[in-house]
Structures are given as C-alpha cells and as structure tokens.
Structure 1
Amino acid sequence: MRYLFDDFEFDTDRRELRRGSDVVAIAPKVFDLLDFLIRNRERVVGKDDLIDAIWGGRSVSDTALTTRLNGARAAIGDSGQEQRLIKTLPRKGFRFVGVVAEARQAPVAGDGQIEHARPVPAFPDKPSIAVLPFQNLSDDPEQEYFADGVVEDIITALSRSKSLFVISRNSSFSYKAKAIDIKRVGRELGVRYLLEGSVRKVEKRIRVTGQLIDASTDMHVWADKFDGDLEDIFDLQDRLAGSVIGAMFPKLERAEIERARRKPTESLQAYDYYMRSKFSIYQWTREGSVEALRMSKLAISLDPAFAVAHASAANIFGQRKGFGWIEDAEKERAESRQLAERAIQLDPDDPVVLAHVAEVYSYVLEEPETGSALAARAIALDPNLALARLWAGWAKVYLGAHDAAIEQFSAAIRLSPIDPHLFVPQTGMAFAHFFSGRYDQALAQATTAIQRQPNFPGAQRIRMSSLAMTGRISEARLACEAALQIDPTLRISSINKAPFRRAEDVKKLSQAWAIAGVPE
C-alpha cells in the first residue's frame, strides 16, 4: 500500500518514505510508528496501542516513545510545536490528521498508466453527512428539478446546524445518475452518514421518501415517507425539507450516542464524552444527571473551546432543579450560569448553544425575558431546530404568553414528530392550556406525556393540577401522591421557585395544588 500526503509517498510494501524523488532516511521503529498512525488515522491512538503494535507489548520508557515520535515528525517535516500532521491530544494519545490518499498498486513506468489516487478525507470530530441526489421516480422528467430542489433545501437546512459537518451540494451532486456504493461514497466524502431518497409525482400529489444510512456499515438508521399537494411547489419543498430533517435528527442523535458508547474508553475524544453525557441525561435519573455532568466536564477538559458541551452541561442543572435533585441551590446556580456564559462567549451564533442557554436563563436562573430573547435568536438562525422551538415555548409559558407558547410547542412537535422526548413539549402544552383555563386539553396533554415518561415531574404536577380544577378531587389526590413519590420535597411554596411572571398563573397553580393536597 502507498499512502500519499503533502509531497510524501509512504510505501509500506517497500518500507520506503519518499519526498518527491528522494528517499527519506527513517529508522525501522519510526517507520512502524508512522505506519500504525497512518493506518489508524480515523481514531486517537493511545500510548499502550503504540507499545503493543511496535514493541509487542514489552516495557518501554516514555523517553523511548517520545524519541520515536519526534523522529516520525522530523521525517515528514512536522514538529511538536506545529503538530501539522501528527497531533498530540493531552492525556489521550496521538492522531495522524493529514489528508491521505491511498494507492494500492505502484505506478507503472513507461506505459502511461499511472494510478491517480483520490484523497481520503479524515472523519470530522462531529456527525458528518452527505445528502445524495434523490431519484425522480415520476414519468415526468420535468420533475427532476423538484427532486433536486428538495435535496438542495435539505442541504441548506442541515448546514445551519453547527453540530453537523455537511458536504456541499456540488460534491453531493457529483454522484447524480450513478450507481452508488454506500461504503465507497462514505469513504470518498469522509462522512459517516448518507441521506438518499426518491420523489414520485402522481397527478397533483407528490411523495418523497428518505433513508439515513450509516456509511461505515451500510445499515439503515432511519427511513420514512412524506406526502403533499403540488399547489404550491416551493412551499412544499420547504415543508418536506423540514419534515425530513425533523424526523431524521433524533435518529441521528441516537446513532451517535450508541457509537460513542461502543468506543473503548481509551480512544474517547471530547465529542464522544459529550455524546455519553447525553445518554446519561436521557436516563432521567439522579445518578444519570451526576454522570452526565461528569462526562460533560471531561469533554470540556479535553476541548475547552467546545461551546455546545458547556451549554449542555449548564442545562443539566435544569433537569436537576425540575426533579428536585438540587443539593446546594446557590452553588449549582452559579456553576450553571458560569457554564452558560462561557458557552455564549465561545460561540454566540450556534443555535444549539443559544437554545440550551435559553432554558438555563429561563428556568435555572429564573430570567425568562433573557431566555426568550436567546431562544428567538436561535430560531432566527435555524428555524428547523426543534430544540430552539421547545425552549422558546417554555420561556413563553413563564412569561404568560400561552398562545405563543402553544405555537412554539406545536412547531417543535411538527419538526421532530418521532422524538423520544416528546413528553417535554407535551408537558409545556399542558401548562399553557391550564393557565388559559382549558383544563380538559391540559389533562389530555399531561396524560399523554406521562404515558411516554411516567417519572417526569412537570407532567405529573400539571396532570394533578388539571384534575383538581375540573373537580375530580379523588383522582387529583392520587396524582398528588404520585408527584410526591417522584419529588418528596414538593411544596406549594416551591411554586415561587419557578419563574412564572403572571400573578394570576401563580395563584391558579397554588389553588390547584392546595385542592390536590400538596403540603404548604
């Protein structure tokens, strides 16, 4: 195998390193170390990995390893200061980060047939995706423009998310009308996921199908179909793009969480710890919240400029407050604020960062005016971000703008209709309906939320409140017992810890809790 990078050619069969036409002198162990790093360039290689591969697991001093590493860098024109090709990740290991092209056969001299290797990009340190041209399955070839338009809308919408690495339209469309080998395309574009699909027009109806595929395994992560009318073609393109993205994102997040959980601990990077923190958050347990915070702090220690990790860590305190797990209120509020402020400093234009920090300000810090403004900015940057719509809705609930809250919660559910955490916007809808005096609708939303997540405190409390205000006192008392089982510290006085701005909302909720039997 020949690996081509910069102006070097690294030939493992001949055990030669060339720069142009010159052979670079390189010691055997240094060659082996460089070979191992290049072959494993898609991951961080630990010290133990290198010792096992190059010295057969024998005891080797740190000095010997450092000497070989310095020799490898010197041979390819790199240094410990620059780390242009071989990067050191403190306390984790090493990674070859140069762009490499692979050529399996040596060039043949004299016959004019020289193999041109295609560069093989390294995977980014976040989810990477390419949207391939959708097939036009209609009889009408004129619908080709519609299929291309849907794909371009999806690429544009995905590109708004700073949590994704999205391949540009020009690269994606180079595969148009070609037979696709999923694994090969994934390698060539340097992406982990591919989104492909089709468009079929029948009379005045159109159907778009989409499937998200893990390019490394050729396994389907998600698939769905979407139907619409052709009365307004451009509006339909926008809605279809939003629907595809909203349905795909939860599956993509779950796939990334599972990938991070499967990785060996010694090869974890900041992003992997961040995804593990999300897994722990979604356990909805006290132990999970503690572990999530620990994972987030590990991610931040490896990458202090990781804005989303700061924002997500700040928002963990919201879960802790909601479930009654706060142990030192002032200390935890201060830590949440510090993390949130740092996240904004690091990236004030990332809509995911803004969405998380919006909830921190609205609920943890009890400043919903600031939270609402941050959520609005997140929506302006990415209208298809369900997370931003969710926390915008909660900010509106706290501010007493209940119809506006329902509008945002409805948008969040429409954008992410199969989200496993739908109980959060459903609970918000229940609160908004309750404060508006629509107790039956509030009860329906709360009941649906509890069916999805029985131990979610907000859903239990608003169901209890709705039962009380509809006169179903015995059921409200039973619901109160369930709420107290989840959070034994629940008191009517704790309503004052929530940032409800309208006095009539506080009065109504307090009245309902008293009827249900919540202690003073």
Structure 2
Amino acid sequence: MSDAELAARPSGPLKIGDWWADPQLDELRRGDQVVKLEPRKMHLLMALARRPQQLVTLDQLLDEVWADLVVTPSSVYQSISQLRSVLGDDASQPRYIVTVPRKGYRLVAEVSEWQSEPAPPPSVAAAPAPEAQAAPEVVAPPAPSRRLLLGGSAVAAGLLGLGGAWLWQRRVTPGGQEIMLAVLPFGDASPKALEQPLADSLAESVILALSQHRQIRVVARSTSFQYRNPQALAPQAGQLAITHVLGGELRRWQQGLQLKLSLHRAADSEQLWQQVLDAPSAALASLALSAANAALQALGQPPLAAGTSSPPLADAYELYLLGLHHQRSGQIEGILKARAYFQRAIDSDPGFALAYVGQAASWIAEYHYGSGLSFRAMDARAQPLIDRALQLDPELPLALGLQGHLKANLSQHEEARRWLSRAVEKAPSDASLLNWSGSNESDDGWPARAQPFFSQAARLSPLAVQIQHRAGLAAIHAGQYQAAEAAFQRAIGLAPQHANGHWGLGILGFARGRLADAVLGYRKALLLDGKREALWGQLAWLYLDLGLADEAARAFAQFEALSATPAAARMEAARQWVRAGDPAALALALQAQPLKPAQAALERYAVIDAALLQLWLGQPQAALRSLESVIGLVLADPVPLYNNWLSFQGHHILLDVATIYSAAGQRDKAEAFIEQASAFVERYVRQGNVWHAAGYHRARVLALRGQVEAALAALEEAVRLGWRRGWWLAQDPALQGLREAPRFKALLARIEAANQEQRGKLLLS
C-alpha cells in the first residue's frame, strides 16, 4: 500500500458493533476473543468504518484497498463475505455490512473511537482469522444410532437446519481455523453393488452445493476424487491445505435410499461425526442438499437455503447424475454418452434446469476436444440450452458461469465478465467458475488479472491439470516463463497421460524461440492425444519454421483430415509451397479445390487466406475479388476472426485484409483495417502481454504505412524476443518494402542461424 493510503487509515482502534478493531495490530477483539485479520481485510473494514451508514462504491473500495493490485470486483465480493463471517454477520439479515446491489456496501453497525480497552489476559493468543465461527464443543458421549427420515427438499432442509440426528460428534473445528473440506467419492453399499456411478455423482452434487457456502471452502472434485478414503488423503492433507474430509456410503434398495455420512479430521483421518440419512426414492434430488447441510451443521456452519425452483423428478435427477459420471471422463466418447443421459433427463423432466446446463456443456466440451464440431455449430447448439436453463432458474451459478464461458469463447469478454462475476459471487468455492473467470481475463489480454483467479482455483483444486495449463498460458502471455514452465511441469506430474502439460511446454518453446523444445512438446502431446487437430496445425508451422518440409507435409495432412474447417486447413497447408518457393504448386493447390459460395460464407478466414496467397502469386485483382466476396460478412459478424491466441501465434486477419487492399491501391480502405489491428495489438501490449509476435504485427502496420526504419526496429525487437518465422518474413506481401534493406537481410540471417541450431538440437533429441 502507498504512504498516502496508510496515512488515510485511522491511527487508533475503533469500536464497530460488538468488536474493537485495531488497524495498527490488524486485530479484532471482543471480550477475551482476539482475531488476527489480514492487513488488506482490515483496510477494507476501515474503508467502510470511515464512512459509517454511507454507501461506499465498488470503485472506491478497489481504489483504496487494492490500489497496488489489478483485481476485479469479485475480490471485493469475496473479501466482504469473509469479513461478514469473521464478524458473525449474515448477508440476509445484516447487522454490520449491507449490500447495495450493483453499487457497493454500507457499514450499518455503530462506530465510535476507542477510549480505553483493557488488554486481553496473557493466556489468550491472537488466532488467524476464521472464515466462520468455530462449532461449539459437543461434550456428550457417543449416542445410539438414530436416523433422519427425509421427504421433500423443503422439509429436509428445514430439519437439517434445526438440528440433526447424530450418531456421535467430537469437537469438529478448532477455534480460528479456516475450513477446507474435501468430499470424497461416496461408496456403494447397495445389495447388488451397481450404483457406484450414482454414488460418485451424488458426491459431486454435494460439492456443487457446498461451493455456494460463504464461510467454508470445498475442494473441487478433480482433487478430492483422487482419494477413496480419508486414510489415503491424510498424508497429503497438509500440503493440500485440507482440514476436514466428508465421506459417504450410499445404499439403495427397493424401499428407498440410505446415505451414511462421516466427517473426519484430515490430518490424521480421525472420525469426528457420523450420521445416517434415510430417504424415499422420490427424494433423490433433495439428498445432496440434505447431505451438505448435515455436514455444515456438524462443522458449526449455517445451512444452505433450498432453491426457489421445485426439485426435479427423481428419475430425471438420476439420469442427470449418470450424465455427470460420463462427462467427467475427459474423453469425447464419455462426453457423447453424457449428452444422451442429459437429453433423457430433459425428456423426463422438461423443467430441470441443470440438465440443460449439462447438455450445453457437452457441446462446448465436444468443440474443445477437437471432434470436428465447428465453433458456429457449437454456439448454435449451446446457447439455446443455456437460455432455457436461465429461464427456469435465473440464479443458477453453473448456468450463469456457462453463459459467461460461452461469451468468452465468442470474444465478448466484458459481457462474459458480468456473467462470471455473478456466478462466482453465488458460488465462491467453485473451481470451474474461477478457472473460467481467469481464462476470460487472460483471453481479454489481462494476464495479471487472470492469475489471482487461477491461484484461487488451484487452491481449491490443486490436482487439476486444466487449471495448471491455463495458469501456465497466462504466465506465458505475461512473459513469466519460469512460472509457466513450473505450471506445465506440475500438470505433467499430476497427469502424465494428459496432453495439455506437454502442449503447454510446446507453446512455451515457441514463445521463447526455442523451436526444438516446441516441437518436442507438441510431439509428446500428440502421442497422448492424436485427435487434436489444432495441435497438428501448430506443429506443421513449427516444422516450416525449421525448414523440415516432409515433416510439415505430414502434419498438415493430419490437420486437414481432422479439421472441422477443411478449407481453412487446406489454405494453411498451402503455405508449404510458399516456404518452398514454388508458385506453380501453390497455384495448383488454390485451383484444385475452389471454395463453393456456401462454404466460403462459412469459412471466411479461408477465403481471406487464399486471397493473401493469390497476392503472393502476383494476382492483386484476383485477390481483391476474393476478399470482397466475403468482407461484408466479416464486418457484419459479431464474432471477430482475430483474438489473442491467433495474434500470439503471429496471425492477424485484419492486417491480411489491409495488405490486400493496399496492394490493390485502395489505401483508404486499407488504413481502416490497419488502425483497428494496431489498436488491438497495442491494447494487449499495454495490458501486460509480452509477445514476440507483437513486434511482427507492429512491423506489418508500419511497413504498410511506409515507415521502413520503424518497421525494421519492430522486427528486431520481435527477433530479440524469440520470433523465428523468417521464411514468412521474406515472403509476406505486407513487408515487401523492407526486403532490400540491409537490416532486414541481417535479421533473416540471424533467424536462419538460430533455426539451424535448433534443427541440430532436434535431430540429437
């Protein structure tokens, strides 16, 4: 914090409601109770206390409390939630902090300056700030087994909120301890032992419910499901920061359901509490919330409220749980099976919002897993399903988050941010929502904003490969290469058979100009998952950079065979003839499979790519005709043909358009696209992205504007940072005005020398 900020803080303690707040010691005191606050949370409390009863806006809090960091409003939401927990406040009936929707917060407790306050007795030590009050100690000896009979969800939630039927309970939460709960996969105790998928998915639903609680943190499924019992987790509990473990055993028979729950201390797996829930089969959809609230009561925490919508039919909910089971396989076959179950759940109960969310997520997952589904087809299928889910339950966190995730895929990052912020506010312990939020910030060009989201997600799911991969990508964009490498190595250590860790190392090699490392990373990734068409395309370009023509041809062939956009894949593959300096072969490739009008309308990128290649063949008017056949569709399309990932790799379609217009003598049209592309690149650089390709894009902008010396300087910076696509620099029509400059020729020689060294390293590997 700055000196000015520190000076603005009160110098002495304040009486805030029942608490004395001492900003010098970062302590809260109430009687003999002493709680140590993090300095930033004390600063937040003081920012509110300086204006008692007044609205303090989100912007004011961000400026005062987080002036030294770039964060999003979700940081305020989470810190306010944690402050409320420490103060013993309730957002629904606030005595301390009142939320003013979409504006900020008011401190409504009485505030007065400190006069005199006796020091606490020497035996009372300051404890770390809890996120929730400790549970009262239960002194009673073990009691005989009693069971809680559950009917409808409202009745069940009410019973669990008022009390429970305990088998027995020890002291669960030591005072001042933050609770990090791991829910393990539930066992199957059914007579025929056929219910394990149902038991696993029920445990996942308990995690989903608990992720909405504001006083505890719940570990994500991808981490907690690595362990089948508390004893297996105990040796890693400290490293994973897990304090408690919830286990369960599901028994199903003709008369109904029985769920036996047990709570354990994570460090030594000692059982602290046990309870049995009995329910009729028709109450299956209420069982997860009932189990969550039973565990919360054992932990001394307030219960979760029942949702406003009616619970789904039991048959539909069971189909949904089976869909979840298949969706988590991480393989395209499992995703397709999950979709079938989600559809059956919808057919069984058309008012079941979560089933629509699962169905939408299956389409998005299919697109990302590279099954040949096009981006537009994915969007056309997923969006109506999300719309229906939100119509049925407008406050469903997963529906809000998935809407934000889809908007981020559409490069509508500001709108995505609004949806994701709402989702995270409602489910602050959902690692998927935090991961999506970080991905959106990274894709919008804010790697520093992304990293706190990934850190929080990794804390909740330290064994999740995807989170480590996305954190590594954000670190690459920020130029933090050691941090990126550490994240990717963690991903490989967590899941050696998952492609993303090795893919990340390949991307890192490309970013650093270490093309041998890049190729090795891509090769290992594709050995593990050979159906990822995008990886084949990226590997082919690396082979072209290294002058390995045969390897490039084979990689491009795989890319074309797997691609959902075959025309675009063919145009990329045609670059190998540019690399070979063979205009006749390129002309044949362009003529062999001309794009039909309907195909051209869908694959606009391919048409513009073909036009740029026509320009390389010395056909500016043909290139212009090709461009103008699709440029209207490009301008009218709300989904841009450029983004941070393509720009990082050195592709910017707007500069290709400008190059074609410039070659055709239409300078005014060219300049409009040059300006738009330049603004995009410069914004990302200002926001903290360190791309070697940024220098290449700048060089194209400057060369198209006739600023030769400045363009050469930009290229020199790109090469210094690791840009190694020398063959295309020599052929790029946008850089035609630089080709005779001695500095340009020297740059090409430097790149070729570096690539020759990398070729040798690759051959020795």
Give the structure-2-normalised TM-score.
0.36
- Aligned ranges for residues 63-142 of structure 1 at < 5 Å? none
CA deviation profile, 1:126-150 (whole Å, cap 9, x unmatched): xxxxxxxxxxxxxxx977999xx97
Distance 1:470 1:348, change over 3 A: same
**Contact between 2:221 and 2:461, CA under 8 Å: does it hold in 1?**
no
Q: Where does residue 316 of structure 1 map in the other structure?
A: 362
Structure 1 residue 277: deviation in Å?
1.6
CA deviation profile, 1:246-299 (whole Å, cap 9, x unmatched): 4799659999999899899x9962222222222212211111111111111112
Q: Where does residue 468 of structure 1 map in the other structure?
A: 510
- What amino acid maps onto 2:430 in structure 1? L
- Aligned ranges for residues 419-498 of structure 1 at < 5 Å? 420=463, 422-454=464-496, 456-485=498-527, 486=529, 487-490=531-534, 491-492=537-538
Q: Tell whether 2:546 aligns with 1:500.
A: no
Q: Over aligned residue pairs, what C-alpha RMSD do you find?
A: 5.2
CA deviation profile, 1:202-245 (whole Å, cap 9, x unmatched): xxx7586978697998x9x99xxxxxxxxxxxxxxxxx975543
Describe the SS at the equivalent of 2:174: strand
Q: Which of 399, 405, 418 is matched with 1:353 structurally?
A: 399
Q: Tell whether 2:389 aligns with 1:343.
A: yes
Describe the SS at the equivalent of 1:269: helix
Distance 1:343 1:405, change over 3 A: same
**Contact between 2:511 and 2:692, CA under 8 Å: does it hold in 1?**
no
**Contact between 1:183 and 1:216, CA under 8 Å: does it hold in 2?**
no
Q: Return the alpha-carbon distance in structure 2 between the equivalents of residues 298 and 184 of structure 1.
A: 37
Q: Where does residue 432 of structure 2 map in the other structure?
A: 387
Describe the SS at the equivalent of 1:199: coil
Q: Which of 143, 151, 173 is matched with 1:199 structurally?
A: 173
Q: Return the alpha-carbon distance in structure 2 between the equivalents of residues 461 and 448 of structure 1.
A: 13
Q: Return the alpha-carbon distance in structure 1 between the equivalents of residues 333 and 89 of structure 2.
A: 38
Q: Return the alpha-carbon distance in structure 1 between the equivalents of residues 177 and 382 of structure 2.
A: 47
- What amino acid maps onto 1:316 in structure 2? S
Structure 1 residue 382: deviation in Å?
3.1
Q: Return the alpha-carbon distance in structure 2 between the equivalents of residues 307 and 357 of structure 1.
A: 13
Distance 1:216 1:292, change over 3 A: closer
Q: Return the alpha-carbon distance in structure 1 between the equivalents of residues 391 and 437 of structure 2.
A: 21
Distance 1:395 1:386, change over 3 A: same
Describe the SS at the equivalent of 1:293: helix
Q: Tell whether 2:369 aligns with 1:297.
A: no
**Contact between 1:366 and 1:498, CA under 8 Å: does it hold in 2?**
no
Q: Return the alpha-carbon distance in structure 1 between the equivalents of residues 344 and 220 of structure 2.
A: 30
Q: Return the alpha-carbon distance in structure 2 between the equivalents of residues 152 and 249 of structure 1.
A: 32
Q: Return the alpha-carbon distance in structure 2 between the equivalents of residues 215 and 504 of structure 1.
A: 48
Describe the SS at the equivalent of 2:334: helix
Q: Return the alpha-carbon distance in structure 2 between the equivalents of residues 394 and 280 of structure 1.
A: 24
- Aligned ranges for residues 409-424 of structure 1 at < 5 Å? 409-414=454-459, 416-418=460-462, 420=463, 422-424=464-466
Structure 1 residue 489: deviation in Å?
1.9
Q: Return the alpha-carbon distance in structure 2 between the equivalents of residues 310 and 373 of structure 1.
A: 21
Structure 1 residue 375: deviation in Å?
0.5
Q: Return the alpha-carbon distance in structure 1 between the equivalents of residues 251 and 520 of structure 2.
A: 39
**Contact between 1:433 and 1:442, CA under 8 Å: does it hold in 2?**
yes
Distance 1:150 1:330, change over 3 A: closer
Structure 1: 4+ residue segments shifted above 6 A: 141-146, 149-157, 173-176, 191-196, 207-217, 247-250, 252-264, 493-499, 509-517
Mark the structure with the bigger radius of gyration: 2
- What amino acid maps onto 1:489 in structure 2? E
Q: Which of 128, 143, 146 is matched with 1:184 structurally?
A: 146
The farther-off stretch of 329-338 and 301-310 is: 329-338
Q: Tell whether 2:448 aligns with 1:403.
A: yes
Q: Return the alpha-carbon distance in structure 2 between the equivalents of residues 498 and 253 of structure 1.
A: 40
Q: Where does residue 49 of structure 1 map in the other structure?
A: none
CA deviation profile, 1:471-496 (whole Å, cap 9, x unmatched): 44333212122333423522247898
Structure 1 residue 432: deviation in Å?
0.6
Q: Tell whether 2:334 aligns with 1:288.
A: yes
Unaligned stretches of 5+ residues in structure 1: 1-140, 158-172, 223-239
- Aligned ranges for residues 141-220 of structure 1 at < 5 Å? 178=140, 184=146, 186-187=148-149, 190=156, 198-200=172-174
Fraction of identical pairs, as percent: 18
Q: Where does residue 136 of structure 1 map in the other structure?
A: none
CA deviation profile, 1:69-97 (whole Å, cap 9, x unmatched): xxxxxxxxxxxxxxxxxxxxxxxxxxxxx
CA deviation profile, 1:67-124 (whole Å, cap 9, x unmatched): xxxxxxxxxxxxxxxxxxxxxxxxxxxxxxxxxxxxxxxxxxxxxxxxxxxxxxxxxx
Q: Tell whether 2:218 aligns with 1:245.
A: yes
Q: Return the alpha-carbon distance in structure 2 between the equivalents of residues 483 and 512 of structure 1.
A: 23
Q: Where does residue 129 of structure 1 map in the other structure?
A: none
Q: Return the alpha-carbon distance in structure 2 between the equivalents of residues 263 and 446 of structure 1.
A: 46
CA deviation profile, 1:308-344 (whole Å, cap 9, x unmatched): 2212221222222222113455433311111122122
- What amino acid maps onto 1:377 in structure 2? R
Unaligned stretches of 5+ residues in structure 2: 1-30, 37-83, 93-134, 190-198, 204-212, 229-245, 255-280, 283-313, 539-567, 573-604, 606-639, 651-690, 694-721, 726-754, 760-765
Distance 1:499 1:293, change over 3 A: farther
Q: Where does residue 103 of structure 2 map in the other structure?
A: none
- What amino acid maps onto 1:433 in structure 2? A
Q: Return the alpha-carbon distance in structure 2 between the equivalents of residues 145 and 396 of structure 1.
A: 34
Distance 1:352 1:307, change over 3 A: same
Q: Return the alpha-carbon distance in structure 1 between the equivalents of residues 489 and 399 of structure 2.
A: 31
Q: Return the alpha-carbon distance in structure 2 between the equivalents of residues 431 and 366 of structure 1.
A: 17
Describe the SS at the equivalent of 1:284: coil
Q: Return the alpha-carbon distance in structure 1 between the equivalents of residues 356 and 226 of structure 2.
A: 18
Q: Where does residue 13 of structure 1 map in the other structure?
A: none
Give the structure-1-normalised TM-score.
0.51
**Contact between 2:188 and 2:250, CA under 8 Å: does it hold in 1?**
no
Q: Return the alpha-carbon distance in structure 1 between the equivalents of residues 145 and 488 of structure 2.
A: 44
Distance 1:427 1:210, change over 3 A: closer
- What amino acid maps onto 1:466 in structure 2? L
Q: Where does residue 116 of structure 1 map in the other structure?
A: none
Structure 1 residue 151: deviation in Å?
11
**Contact between 2:401 and 2:419, CA under 8 Å: does it hold in 1?**
yes
**Contact between 1:154 and 1:242, CA under 8 Å: does it hold in 2?**
no
Q: Where does residue 307 of structure 1 map in the other structure?
A: 353
Q: Return the alpha-carbon distance in structure 2 between the equivalents of residues 316 and 259 of structure 1.
A: 29
Q: Which of 393, 412, 422 is matched with 1:367 structurally?
A: 412
**Contact between 1:465 and 1:509, CA under 8 Å: does it hold in 2?**
no
- Aligned ranges for residues 23-42 of structure 1 at < 5 Å? none
Describe the SS at the equivalent of 2:218: helix
Describe the SS at the equivalent of 2:533: coil
Structure 1 residue 509: deviation in Å?
8.8
- What amino acid maps onto 1:462 in structure 2? G
**Contact between 2:397 and 2:423, CA under 8 Å: does it hold in 1?**
yes
Aligned residues: 334
Structure 1 residue 387: deviation in Å?
2.5
Distance 1:480 1:145, change over 3 A: closer
Structure 1 residue 435: deviation in Å?
0.9
- What amino acid maps onto 2:521 in structure 1? A
Structure 1 residue 174: deviation in Å?
12
- What amino acid maps onto 1:500 in structure 2? N
Describe the SS at the equivalent of 1:431: helix
